[in-house]
Amino acid sequence: MSDSRPPARDNTRRPTIRDVARDAGISKTSVSRYFGAERHLLSAAMQARIERSVERLGFRPDRIAASLRGGRTRLIGALVADIRNPYSVALIHAAERACGEAGYSLMVCNTDNDEALERRHLDVLDGYSVDGLIVNTVGRNTQALEDMRRRGLPMVLVDRQIGALDCDMVGLDDIAAVGQAVAHLVAHGFERLELITEPVAGISSRLARAEAFDAECRRRGLRSSVYESALQDTGADALEARLRGLIAEPAPAAVICANGVVTLAVCHVLQRLAGFDRLGVLGIDELAWCALVGPGISTLAQPVDAIGRQAIETLLSRIDGDHGPAVIHRLPATLNARGSTAPPA
């Protein structure tokens, strides 16, 4: 009786697409589709069959060789200013899932807000011949990014616009979100408002939120101010002094935290001061702990999953040949009202 099992794996060489096809009992074309943009043409059963063979043989596609043959590596680069920021974590998770569903892999580079490190990462991504790039940084290497874009590298900015870089951008509708936050606080009886933000320093999203807050408060005739806090070291002491002053205000006061990092810092201070019942708090960014701290922190949740997916979909469209004018996608926030913005006693 003949043995119909596939030949044993030869551990002296790297498995090829031909080996996977033979092991799965299918054509090389189907295996190539599995690792390419046409994966959706394969049935779920076929995909599972290929996946089992890939795992059994330990096959890994040679992205560089593929790019030499077909001009694509199926790699997407992601440049992120601070990977520790919860927003960045959620963004990268969403982008990575969207890449995987389209048959791409995501290479993530954290710049730590360091100009030299950002430049080195750009050189690395350029060397790997990524098919496209999503950028969520301050953009201290604008010229290098512009040079890559001019050489034909598709690029999408996320959350932050960078100088005059002419490419697509996906992010929160900052003006609508800030207007929604102010309206919520006013409706709940707060009369003195302050936006607390990390140093604006030319970062477009921070600047947009500060300007929108100023404009909305002026329109409503509210007492308001914007406070830029460094948050760490002496900045933490200054933040505590600032919040003490707001708590002592005769009129009901509330703060809008411009992002999740600020919300965390403010909550630490209010926890020490036992000040949650004396100062309203609303944070931009929904974080897992917000419902558990103090009376529950009201938030404006950014649609980070949708932002990450939209960024990848827009980028893939450019990779596939869309040469239309740059588009800015502004997505709405969702208000989660909790005890921290309950009407003041």
- Digit-coded pLDDT (tens) for 285-302: 999 999 999 999 999 999
Q: With 0.85 as the threshold, say if the pTM is over it.
A: no
Does 3 map to a domain? no
What is the per-residue pLDDT across 7-30, written as a single tens digit (0 to 9) for each? Answer: 444 455 778 888 889 999 999 888
Q: What is the CATH number of the domain that holds 187?
A: 3.40.50.2300
DSSP 139: -
Q: Show the tokens assigned to 297.
A: 């922190």
SS3 state of residue 226: strand
Of the candidates 246, 256, 244, the residue with the CA atom closest to the CA atom of residue 217: 256
The reply to whether 10 falls in a domain is: no
pLDDT above 70 (res 63): no
Q: How many domains does the chain have?
A: 3
**Do 51 and 90 reside in the same domain of the chain?**
no
Average confidence score pLDDT of the chain: 89
Is 118 found in the same domain as 107? yes
pLDDT of 2 above 50: no
167/182 same-domain check: no
How many angstroms separate the Cα of 170 from the Cα of each of 148, 159, 311, 334?
19, 6, 6, 17
55 shares its domain with 161: no
Could you tell me which residues are beta bridge partners of residue 168? 156
Quote the distance between the C-alpha of residue 95 and its chain's center: 8
Whether residues 163 and 194 fall in one domain: no
Contact 194/255 with Cβ under 8 angstroms? yes
Q: Report how far apart, in Å, the C-alpha atoms of 261 and of each of 46, 197, 198, 228, 243 are.
A: 45, 9, 8, 13, 16
pLDDT digits (tens, 9 = 90+) for 165-188: 899 999 999 999 999 999 999 999
Residue 296 belongs to a domain: yes
Domain match, 255 and 287 both: yes
Report the C-alpha gap between 263 and 266 in whole angstroms: 5
Write out the residue range of the structural domain in which residue 31 sits.
17-61
* Res. 70: pLDDT tops 80: no
The letter for the amino acid at 39 is R
* Same structural domain, 139 and 185: no
